[in-house]
Amino acid sequence: MSIVVVGSINMDLVVRVKRHPVPGETLLGSDYETHHGGKGANQAVAAARMLARPMPTKSASPGPAPGVRMIGRVGQDEFGQQLRNALKREGINVSATLPIAAPTGVAFIAIDEEGQNTIIVSPGANHRLRPEHLSPAEFEGAQVVVLQLEIPLETVRRAAELGRQAGAQVILNAAPAQKLPDKLLHHIDILVVNEIEALGLSGVLPNSPEIALEVAQLLAKKVPTVIITLGEQGAVWVSPEGQGHQPVPEVEVVDATGAGDAFIGALATALCEGMSLAQAVKRGCVAGALATTKTGAQSSLPWREEVYAQLES
């Protein structure tokens, strides 16, 4: 089994507020916390935890994550060293995640009392990952390639091309929202977007499963399979094999920061294991819901045993 993730690696600086400020307003928040993040790194960790056996304990480290490779860039600074070492501890291959002379990416995250977040990202070293830095050898044997949009778009396109050439399924989580050229979408097998990202691509806000299915059908004219995540309303999908809506289990939301990345990691591993798209989306929805019950990005990502326990219940 082999999953290659190409994307961002950030240190998240998190502060809690009673509510989000309006433009020009200053609010006092909690003491800030640092969490390992970046959509690329989060999704690599999410996949690794869905493959690792068993869950770690105080006396034992997590099991190996077979075939999860992270390709990215960090700075030659303390944040960069911490983030790279954290990925190693998850059992992720970081031989293609290199420290360079640039600041490590940082995300500034505010979380309100409802658990909803706003995020500002300073890309730093992430935007120094160029197409020419990607080697076909790093994609050999990949079953699934996972991409996001916190690195340069031309690098995403090159990674998608190399993934296709290696015979892998290519998943694009089109976040943060931006216009996507057809020359990139041509190399994508599965497009995953949330409500806001779907709005940006279609001009329609999919604020219900019924509308989301219509939007997914529209987007599926350019990408074979489209998945739209809807938060507490679950997710919908449209593919050549059919379409559907998957609800999520009811949980007490603490912090929604890592939910989308948990969904992607669980989706990718399920597809690697030969599950149908409907089964993979269901596992993704459960993983995403569980991620909202804990704080932080990577720290909130669930382990395989937790997801399967929820599925069985």
**Among all residues, which ones are annotated catalytic?**
261
Region for residue 229 given its phi and psi (left: phi exceeds 0; alpha: psi -120 to 50; beta: otherwise): beta
Of 8, 47, 51, 14, the closest CA to residue 297 belongs to: 14
Helix residue ranges per DSSP H, 138-245: 153-165, 182-185, 195-202, 209-219
Helix pair 277-291, 259-272: axis angle to 10 deg: 150
On whether the CB atoms of residues 9 and 126 are closer than 8 A, the answer is: yes
Strand order in the sheet with 10-16: 33-37, 10-16, 105-111, 117-122
Whether residue 302 is preceded by a cis peptide bond, meaning omega within 30 degrees of 0, is: no
Q: Which two tokens stand for residue 272?
A: 């690697």
Of 50, 40, 187, the closest CA to residue 121 belongs to: 40
Q: Which two tokens stand for residue 194?
A: 């949330």
Distance of alpha carbon 41 from alpha carbon 62, whole angstroms: 17
Strand order in the sheet with 3-6: 97-100, 68-75, 3-6, 144-147, 169-173, 190-193, 225-229, 235-239, 242-246
